Structure 1
């Protein structure tokens, strides 16, 4: 077994293990921490595939941005030690069924595809080419993805504020009673 295969096994194991821990943890702050580890391991897979830009975006945007916003929203709502209630058995069974169906569909789609490896031609990389790709909205451009990312971060920030305000309003209502 080569180092290349060992790295894939390690990264994919970390992603699977901490994904399960994210979903199964009853403490919200621990779930956010496990999610951070999943996103960092996903960046490791991107590095393993030699997609350095995607790895940097994964760490900067998702691991760095969204998880920090989620943690701040948890801290703002003062529910750090909050434990979620166990799910009813019907929801657990439904969730497992949907997850199994999704896994079966994914495995079926992968097995239907005939994967072939081929070497890609190396691209010219210099500051001018990178700059043109950053401002280009067409094929191979990054302007549109950056705009989508900025809207996503704005939505997460607004969501975090709404969650924090909603809990403060509920606390004030319960104090007035």
Structure 2
């Protein structure tokens, strides 16, 4: 069952990633991105990385994608269609993707991966709470502060995009 779920999540990630960058409708691209992020969280759950899966769901799927969708809906661009890219941009994008795929495959194939037998650690809520509030070696305060800055930047960017489009429409 784990192998089937891995292939299912991987297929969802691949298909929705391609649909996200090839669709011409902005709202559909945001929904496809949401599907990719949810499937990635599913892979994290399969690997027993519950914290990473929770961060993936709350920060990316729950925060940024919802913010993008709200900015699309609030700026009345729900029916906006992107233009087809010109040939040079398409060739450059395919070239960059090919180089990226080559780099990833070279890196993966040059290393031998072996399963580790690390013992399972006990779950202690006091230790988890102290780590969440700690700035030390295993602390999570810095990542949460960075996440808050990232969400603030995403909100400011959404406001700027909405304001630019509003100003552009008012000049016409």
Q: TM bucket by the smaller chain?
A: over 0.9
Which region of structure 1 is more displaced relative to structure 2, 111-120 or 157-166? 111-120
Which region of structure 1 is more displaced relative to structure 2, 97-106 or 75-84? 75-84
Match of 2:9 among 8, 11, 14: 11
Match of 1:170 among 147, 163, 168: 168
Name the counterpart of 1:109. 107
Q: What SS does structure 2 have at the residue aligned with 1:166? A: helix
1:114 & 1:140 partners in 2: Cα distance? 28
1:53-132 residue pairs with structure 2 within 5 A?
A: 53-132=51-130
Name the counterpart of 1:45. 43
1:42 & 1:137 partners in 2: Cα distance? 28
Task: Give me the TM-score of the superposition, normalised by structure 2.
Answer: 0.97
1:140 & 1:112 partners in 2: Cα distance? 31
Unpaired runs of 5+ residues, structure 2, are none
Name the counterpart of 1:146. 144
* Aligned positions, number: 172
- 1:171 Cα deviation from its structure 2 partner: 1.4
Task: Give me the TM-score of the superposition, normalised by structure 1.
Answer: 0.94
2:82 & 2:121 partners in 1: Cα distance? 50
- 1:36 Cα deviation from its structure 2 partner: 0.4
Note the aligned Cα RMSD (angstroms). 0.9
**Structure 1 residues 72-112: Cα deviation after superposition (integer angstroms, max 9, x where no partner):** 11112211101111001111111011101100000000111
- 1:161 Cα deviation from its structure 2 partner: 0.4
- 1:69 Cα deviation from its structure 2 partner: 0.6
2:136 & 2:4 partners in 1: Cα distance? 37
